[in-house]
Amino acid sequence: MSGIVGIFSKKKYKNIFPDLYSALYAIQHRGQEAMGISLLSHERLSEIRGKGEIANNIGLDNISTLAGNVGLAHAKYMFAEDDRSLLPMPWMFYPKNSDHKNLIAIDGKFFDKNSPEEIVNNLNSKNEDEIIEYVNKLNGVYALLIVSGKRMIAVRDHYGIKNLCVGKNDDNYIVASESCAIESIGGQICHELKPGEIYIVDDDGEKSYFSKEISNSPCIFDFVYTARPDSYINGVSVYDARIRMGEILYKEHPVDADIVVGSPDSGLISAVGFSRASNIKYERAIVRNRYINRTFILPTDSTRQKGIRIKLNPIKHLLEGKRVVLVDDSIVRGNTVKRVIEILKESGAKEVHIRIASPQVIKEENYTFDVADKEHLISYNRSVEEVRKIIGADSLGFISLEGLREACGNKTYYENCFDGFNPLERK
């Protein structure tokens, strides 16, 4: 679930770095383990790539070194099998059939051994039919961007699992993993790439070609957790979907309580929906330390546990003697919710009822986020009641898969981790 952004400006002497930098910041939530920004100006490359977040790598001492009228940026989420010695993308190659340097950034994985250099070489063909034929064979779950001084190419996988959207800002053409990246720099959203779409922009304008489409199934977990609430996916507002999740969650699992609390930050919006549907007062009774990032995507159990302990702090007088409904986005390993329940009860909560705005995660997933072994999943091979006992809740309810689909507009989605629809099983 890495984040990628590409910007192409026809104005050869324009510096797009400020926009590229800001757009990458807007999707920092998609990857915190490494970042990269690379720009080209008249074939001159300037770049910064490194481990950690943007702020760890770009500062007053090096920001003036970055300039170009085209460029790519990458916020990296690492999977367990990734080679951690490699610097993050964008990577640069000299294609066999081009005189121009090319940058490439990829979010996702390929089923076959398709190297980034091979992809750059094949997508630099001057023959449009050859490009389409190659993309037809480029199987995987991916979104990719290639940019040179002459053009930018964006490709979305045939299954539509990875998202890519196109926008414009003055004379800039922008492609990004989420719409919020485009809007954060004053851009206007033009369209989401269709599955198998090959979008190309150059000095003559923009055009699209279409390879095969197997399905249009964005990852439904983006609505639950990954995406920013101000993004749109599949034409659906992530914010509105999360409100509906909370409303449907109360309908499916009502409870008597005194206050509704959202687990910061990805459970907050569904908690508002739950409060509206139930008429139970909503309170922001847990404060999140803004300097601690998303614990779910930290690489090891030990770092996740440490992150949880310093990430959240209760407002005790709001909790003392209260029957609390805690709404969270999901339970994957169970570390976070178990610790939050302990915090609430230590703060005087009389009861803690957990409501989860997604179904039980019961299958491993290694294309959109990384749960390599189902044995790490607290809900694998366990009933809801067994999970409730492990985490120490007074009651526990998960939204149904049908309810989640309804919240997300009753469209087709990639639902593998919930043992739902998976177009990859048809390949």
Cβ-count burial 159-182 (b if 16+ within 10 Å, e if not): bbbbbbbbbebeebbbbbbbbbbb
Q: What is the pTM of this model?
A: 0.92
**Does 394 carry a binding-site annotation?**
no
Strand partners, 34: 51, 76
Give percent helix, percent strand, percent coil of the chain, each to the nearest 5.
30, 30, 40
* CB contact at 8 A, 4 and 145: yes
Torsion angles phi and psi, residue 271, rounded to 5: -65, -40
Tens digits of pLDDT across the chain (427 residues)? 899 999 999 999 999 999 999 999 999 999 989 999 999 999 999 999 999 999 899 988 888 889 999 999 999 988 777 777 778 899 999 988 778 999 999 999 999 989 999 999 999 888 899 999 999 999 999 999 999 999 999 999 999 999 999 999 988 999 999 999 999 999 999 999 999 999 999 999 999 999 999 999 999 999 999 999 999 999 999 999 999 999 999 999 999 999 999 988 889 999 999 999 999 999 999 987 766 654 444 545 555 555 555 778 899 999 999 999 999 999 998 988 998 999 999 999 999 999 999 999 999 988 888 876 888 899 999 999 999 999 999 999 999 999 999 999 999 999 999 999 999 986 5
At 326 the three-state DSSP class reads: strand
Fold exhibited by the domain 236-418: Rossmann fold (3.40.50)
For Cα atoms 335, 3, 336, give the angle at the middle one, nearest 5 degrees.
10
Strand partners, 189: 167
DSSP string, 179-236: HHHHHTTT-EEEEEPPTTEEEEEETTEEEEEE--------BTHIIIIIS-TT-EETTE
* CB contact at 8 A, 93 and 102: yes
Strand partners, 9: 172
**Does 38 carry a binding-site annotation?**
no
**Does 373 carry a binding-site annotation?**
no
**Domain spans, the chain:** 3-216, 236-418
Question: CATH homologous superfamily for 3-216?
Answer: Aminohydrolase, N-terminal nucleophile (Ntn) domain (3.60.20.10)
